[in-house]
Structure 1
Amino acid sequence: MITILGCVINEHNIWLVLVAALVCASGSWAVICLFERAARTKGLQRAGWHFLSAVAAGAAIWCTHFIAMLAYEPGAPVSFDPVMTILSLLIAIAGAGAGFIVAASGSARIAPAFGGAIVGVAIAVMHYTGMMAYRVQGIIHWDMGYLVASVALSVSISAAAFHTTMQTSLRGRRYLAAGLFFFGIISLHFTGMTAFKVTPLLLDNGFSNPAAMQALAIAVAVVALVLVGAGLASYFIDDSARTESLDRLRHMALNDGLTGLPNRASFIDRLDHEIDLASESGRKLALIGIDLNKFKEVNDLRGHAAGDMLLRALGERLSGLTGEGEFVARTGGDEFAAIQRFVDQARLQEFLVRLEQALFEPIEVNDFVIAPGASFGVAIYPDNATSREALISNADLAMYRAKADVAHHVCYYDQSMDEVVRARRSLASDLKAALDNNELDVHYQVQTSVVTSQIRGFEALLRWNHPEHGFIPPSEFIPLAEENGLILQLGEWVLREACGRAASWEPPYKVAVNLSPAQFVHADLAKLIIEVLMSTGLPANRLELELTESTIFQDKERSFSVLRQIKALGVNIALDDFGTGYSSLDMLRSFPFDKIKLDRSFINEAEENLQAKSIIRAVLALGKSLDIPILAEGIETKGQLTLLGDEGCDEVQGYLLGRPTTFANLIETGKISLVNKGEISLPRIAHQPLEIGDDAPDVLTRSA
């Protein structure tokens, strides 16, 4: 026989005490973990975790008690009252659950300790209810001192355990709390058993079956470990799911959803980190701004789905080419950024070569192959900048210079050269403000009949008088609008302004408006024209839309389909800059244009160059044979006008006949009058940013 804390245990049953300790220890750890999870959740989730915590606690407390009781040797036959035994288990589960609810309530600072005390009481009530279920053939005596001590230990230690659990600032609190809870259960049991004394009665029916008792103990232990294991499994599964969810959210927050590359937030964090490292180590850091060359073209001609496929393919390439000290991110749209720590220029050059290969190698998207290409701007830390903002800005400046230089894909930051780019970017910002603040104006250039010298109409031309820099040439601000996505807004504004003004003219002359390639590829062009005509009240036959051969040539099948829709409205279509495009005769064969505008380049040389004169004569003859009126642009001398008259040209336009002028000046000079006197109220458009192609020519603002 062995005595532990006054409890007499058969030496053959010492392993049962160890099993009881194992069940108690694993159960205590499970209870603390599950309770912590319950305390961090709310609503039905909290109720579910409380239930699991209560079941795990009840199993641990009850099984620890009964396994240890089976190891106890009273010296007389024993049995168990089934009703009281089951009641003791229910008391353990219900009491622990009540204590957990109070401890996690947060209603007061002492709530965790108070809830833990309730759990301690439940442990004590379970133990002594279980002792009432213990039927032994002998006389039972209780030592009240040990009995009171056992209850006090259980209540105080359990209170300390759950108070510790809720101390979030305490390191290792989970281990400490589990240890305290384990000690609280064990101390209650062994101190309570020390208070328990049995005087056996001499009876003839012998002792209980030891083998059966041991088998029962093993069964109870297995059930307890299964219950505790199930609780822990739920905890770990939930913990794993939470970790996966957090990882997924973190990945979504730090990575681009389309390409999988790090996003702008990741790029900024990494750049800050790399700048700090470069500053500490004395090494150099290269920041490379990257902009795709043909992404807008793919979006406009093939749709956004094709653009997304292109970006995904490029993302896969870029994610696989980085090595140590290198980083690539998608910072937005068709823009990327790369970072590299380097010591010598050769390593940086090698990285740039890899980037070029990845972005210039052809990619098959659906049924077509495209070599996207890119422009690279490189800024070096600390040579070109000593702060993150300046480094990014300088890399962008170099990249924009690379986009403007068709001979070079890579440009390094150069302060003297990139100041020009900086000025252009500032001007682009001013252009956006001018559009928002209605600082732009439409001028009108007269179109005249050669035979009668009568006015046939006016061409609307966009002009910008900058509040600080004065008149900005269209050749300067139109490319800016194309680069910065403003060309669609400008084109729509000119169309509305010109139609609104023309609706008030008397006589009812035609008004000619140029269409940019970006406007022409826009899906809702016909719908826009209908809306403008209806809102301004201009008859469709008084609007003439001009577009170049190059605009149509980008997608001939779609272009002719759109032109037919517009012509069906009654709007006139003029082929602009005739003779300078790709396939002029094929254009005339494929679509019935209402007018051909002969390019100014032929007119400029007509008086001296026999070849130019022959081309003019051939075009005019072609127009007569097809019954299409010809308008010659750029008439600046009387000799040019006489020549065109002799050759049978229908209409002319140029400085000789009238420079582009304001709407007010047309009225003052008597070229037009107003149908309704007074100020004309014109509709304004809401300026929404729209994407266009990079290679849109200057067709909004030509002046003849």
Structure 2
Amino acid sequence: MVTLGIALAAIILFVGTAGVVLPTLIRAFQGAAPSPDIALTNALLLNIALILLGWNRYKALNAELARRCASEEEARRLADMDHLTGCFNRRSLTVALAELLAEKAHRERALAVVAVDLDNFKQINDLNGHLAGDEVLRAIALRIERLTPEGGLLARLGGDEFLCVVPYHPQVPDRIDQLASRMIESVAVPVDHEGNSIDVTISVGIASSTQLELTGQATVSAQKLMHKADIAMYHAKKQGKNRFFWFEPPMENELRFRNELETGIRRGIAQGEFRPYYEQQVDLETGELTGFEMLARWDSPELGVIGPDIFIPIAEEIGVIGEMSERLISQAFEDAKQWAPELTLSVNISPVQMRDPWFAQKLLKLMVKHNFPPNRLDIEITESCLHENIGMVRSMITSLRNQGVHVSLDDFGTGYSSLSQLRTLPFDRLKIDRAFISELTDEAHGGKLVDAIISMGDGLKLPITAEGVENEQVLEALKAMGKLKGQGYHYGRPEPADKVLERLQKQGRLSEGDASNVTAVDFGDKGSSARESDARAS
């Protein structure tokens, strides 16, 4: 503005000066008048120069201002868009959703917020590389965008999570169901990347503005609605993935309880609330006690005694299963050192722990620390461990067995282990899953499958332990099938350490030096075994 003002002032001055100088110059050129005043002529020339300079500067500043405005507009656009997919991002979508909520509040229309999350996207990245992962994200964003109706919005919130905002009439929610179904079907088509076909599925959660109490703060309402869609999406994942669910209030309560459990588990580990319980393992032929399997229990001050079927999956997901297991095993070593030396200790190992290449070394270090004999320890792993990294599992098993530790294949028959794996992996024992043992009471099925497993174990020279011996009928059926070990509620429910010591004292099977002072041992048991879960630690 200043530059333009200077240029205009120079033009006005030029007009005034030129009105005097130019006529005199023309007459002087024609010889009809003397030469004009030198000062006025110089002033005229300076005005011309000032006009040219001022106008050029004005155009330059104008061009610079236009470039700066364009740059700022591009910066705002980039700040509002996801650079990888070209969709909105979380910040811009929140603002847009708030505006739509304020607008739709005055109409007979509703907004559906559709949260979309790719299933197992980390595995896609790990197997195919991050470039392939980026290509998958772009392809999925394009497919969802094509399905988004007019007036809808699509945003990538980060990672592999997308969110759609779709206007609809509240009387016809089926249209949103159809949209979600088409999204699932469209995404399920494999994505091609450098000749590789990548399969993708999604979990979808839907929340409606009709479920929201609109307040004067539209941004807060938008965030609440997005949160409800997220809750529904996580519920879809929990129910098996590759499906969609509408938000319902109980889902929020469930998620809140889940968060409370996570907090409680972290606190419980630090405060020693997780304790080992022990289930008897018996020689079925003689009825003699041969050892115990350690099972985890959470003695929560607020919730009571909680079984592992509740807290083990959560501990695995939040990454604390290793620390929890090490603390439980350490306590179990100290407990088992008070038993007679011929009694063994069996410990279940989570598949998550088997992914740790240093697990065997950590376990051996614990045995050295607690001076626990390796030949008394039996590590139990599930069949699912064999399909994640068979080479690393073989190395761990070999390393442990070289130190004298026994290794059993737990819950045999529920996974996908092959005969070749059983022949090549150096297992010491097979444990038949309780689901097969329970069929021994069914006359239609009988014990054919159990008998086949036992015959296979005999052929591979692998001893067998039967889980889930619940009654005398099952016990007699197993006795007729050969020499087996067994465990189950027929011999008693899992007990805390002090109850085990009482049992062993009556049988005279405590280690020397512990038999005389067993009554002085206090493990802080609250006698809550009636509330135990029947599930076993993974």
TM range (shorter): 0.7 to 0.9
Q: 1:241 to 1:424 in 2, by over 3 A?
A: closer
Partner Cα separation in structure 1 for residue 93 and residue 416 of structure 2: 44
The residue number in structure 1 matching 2:529 is none
Task: Please point out which of 202, 206, 209 is paired with 1:378.
Answer: 206
Counterparts of 1:43-442 in structure 2, within 5 Å, are 73=21, 222=52, 237=67, 240-248=70-78, 250-251=79-80, 255-256=81-82, 259-295=85-121, 298=124, 310-331=136-157, 333-343=159-169, 344-345=172-173, 347-364=175-192, 369-382=197-210, 386=214, 388=221, 391-392=225-226, 394-396=228-230, 398-403=232-237, 405=239, 409-413=243-247, 419=250, 421-438=251-268, 439-442=273-276
What are the residue-to-residue correspondences of 1:467-546 with 2, within 5 Å?
A: 467-478=301-312, 485-486=317-318, 488-490=319-321, 492-503=323-334, 505-506=337-338, 507=340, 510-521=344-355, 525=359, 529=363, 543-546=377-380
With the length of structure 2 as denominator, give the TM-score of the two structures.
Answer: 0.72
Aligned pairs for 1:437-456 (under 5 A) are 437-438=267-268, 439-450=273-284, 455-456=289-290
The alignment partner of 1:280 has SS state of coil
Give the aligned residue type for 2:275.
Answer: D
Match of 2:399 in 1: 568
Alpha-carbon distance in 2 for matches of 1:281, 1:384:
15
Post-superposition shift, 1:588? 0.7
Structure 2 residue aligned with 1:577: 411
The 3 A distance-change label for structure 1 pair 68 and 468 is same
Inter-CA distance 226–568: structure 2 relative to 1 (3 Å threshold): same
- Cα distance between partner residues in 2 of 1:366 and 1:481: 38
User: Using a 3 Å threshold, how does the CA distance of structure 1 residues 409 and 230 change in structure 2: closer, same or farther?
Assistant: closer
Does structure 1 conserve the Cα–Cα contact (< 8 Å) formed by 2:408 and 2:427?
Answer: yes
TM superposition shift of 1:305? 7.0
C-alpha spacing 1:613/1:593, structure 2 compared with 1 (3 Å):
same
Determine helix, strand or coil for the equivalent of 2:440.
coil
Match of 2:144, SS?
A: helix
Residue type matched to 2:265 in 1?
Answer: L
Q: Which deviates more, 600-609 or 433-442?
A: 600-609
Where does the alignment leave 5 or more consecutive residues of structure 2 unmatched?
26-33, 216-220, 524-532
**Could you tell me which of 640, 644, 657 is aligned with 2:491?**
657
CA contact (8 A) 2:380 2:410 kept: yes
The alpha-carbon deviation at position 323 of structure 1 amounts to 3.6
* SS of match in other structure, 2:113: strand
Kindly state the Cα deviation for residue 403 of structure 1 after the two structures are TM-superposed.
Answer: 4.0
For the residue of structure 1 that corresponds to 2:489, the secondary structure is coil
**Counterpart contact for 1:442–1:460, Cα < 8 Å:** yes
Q: Secondary structure at the match of 1:580?
A: coil
SS of the residue corresponding to residue 101 of structure 2 reads: helix
1:627 partner SS: coil
Q: CA deviation at 1:493?
A: 0.8
Of 313-322 and 626-635, more deviation after overlay is shown by: 313-322
Amino acid in the other structure paired with 1:428: R
- Looking at structure 2, the residues matched to 70 and 524 of structure 1 have their Cα atoms a distance apart, in angstroms, of 94
Residue 623 of structure 1 and its aligned partner are, at CA, apart by 2.4
Give the SS at the match of 2:414. Answer: coil
> Which of the numbers 438, 457, 461 marks the counterpart of 1:604?
438
Residue deviations 1:584-643 (CA, integer Å, cap 9, x gap): 323213422222111223322336648653433333333233232222211223454455
**Partner Cα separation in structure 2 for residue 304 and residue 662 of structure 1:** 48
Q: Deviations over 1:223-258 (max 9, x none)?
A: 66556655665565555545544544x33xxx4565
Report the 3-state secondary structure (helix = DSSP H, G, I; strand = E; otherwise coil) of the residue aligned with 1:355: helix
Determine if the alignment matches structure 1 residue 617 to structure 2 residue 445.
no
How far 1:280 sits from its partner (Å)?
Answer: 0.9
3-state secondary structure, aligned to 2:469: coil
TM-score, normalised with respect to structure 1: 0.57
**Alpha-carbon offset, residue 452 of structure 1:** 6.0
Distance 1:430 1:562 in 2: 34
Q: Which amino acid in the other structure matches residue 111 of structure 2?
A: L
Counterpart position of 2:463: 629
**Does the Cα contact within 8 Å between 2:17 and 2:43 map onto a contact in 1?**
no
Give the secondary-structure state (helix, strand or coil) at the position aligned to 2:298. strand
CA contact (8 A) 1:620 1:649 kept: no
Which SS does the other structure have where 2:427 is aligned? coil
Q: Which moved more, 1:429-438 or 1:353-362?
A: 353-362
> Is the 8 Å Cα contact of residues 462 and 701 (structure 1) preserved in structure 2?
no
Give a deviation string over 1:440-484, Cα, whole Å, max 9, x none.
Answer: 3332223334466555443222223554554445445555666xx
Quote the offset at 1:660 in angstroms: 1.4
Equivalent residues of 1:446, 1:455 under 8 A apart: yes
Percent of paired sites with the same residue: 30
Q: 1:228 to 1:454 in 2, by over 3 A?
A: same
Extract unaligned runs of 5+ from structure 1: 1-21, 31-59, 78-203, 682-698
- For residue 597 of structure 1, give the secondary structure of its aligned residue in structure 2: strand
Give the AA of the match of 2:324: W
* Aligned alpha-carbon RMSD (Å): 4.8
The whole-number CA distance in structure 2 between the counterparts of 1:525 and 1:669 is: 33
Offset at 1:423?
Answer: 4.3
In 1, the alpha carbon distance for the partners of 2:481 and 2:266 equals 47
Residues 1:615 and 1:323: Cα distance change in structure 2 (over 3 Å): closer
Counterpart of 2:420 (choices 586, 599, 603) is 586
SS of residue matched to 2:164: strand
One-letter amino acid of the counterpart of residue 313, structure 1 = A
Q: CA deviation at 1:519?
A: 4.0
1:174-231 Cα offsets, whole Å, 9 max, x none, are: xxxxxxxxxxxxxxxxxxxxxxxxxxxxxx99997x9999889867765665566556
Question: Counterparts of 1:436 and 1:406 in 2: how far apart (Å)?
Answer: 26
Name the structure 2 match of 1:26.
Answer: 4
2: distance between equivalents of 1:239 and 1:386? 37
Residue type of the alignment partner of 1:379? A
Equivalent position of 1:166 in the other structure: none
Match of 1:134 in 2: none
SS in 1 for 2:447: helix
**SS in structure 2 opposite 1:448?**
strand
List per-residue Cα deviations over 1:248-277 (Å, max 9, x = no partner): 4x33xxx45655533333343333222222
Instruction: Work out the CA distance in 1 between the residues paired with 2:7 and 2:513.
Output: 91
Cα distance in structure 2, aligned partners of 1:472 and 1:316: 46
| Distance in 2 of aligned mates of 1:346 and 1:534 | 63
CA change 1:342–1:615 in 2 (3 A) is: closer
* Equivalent residue number for residue 194 of structure 1: none
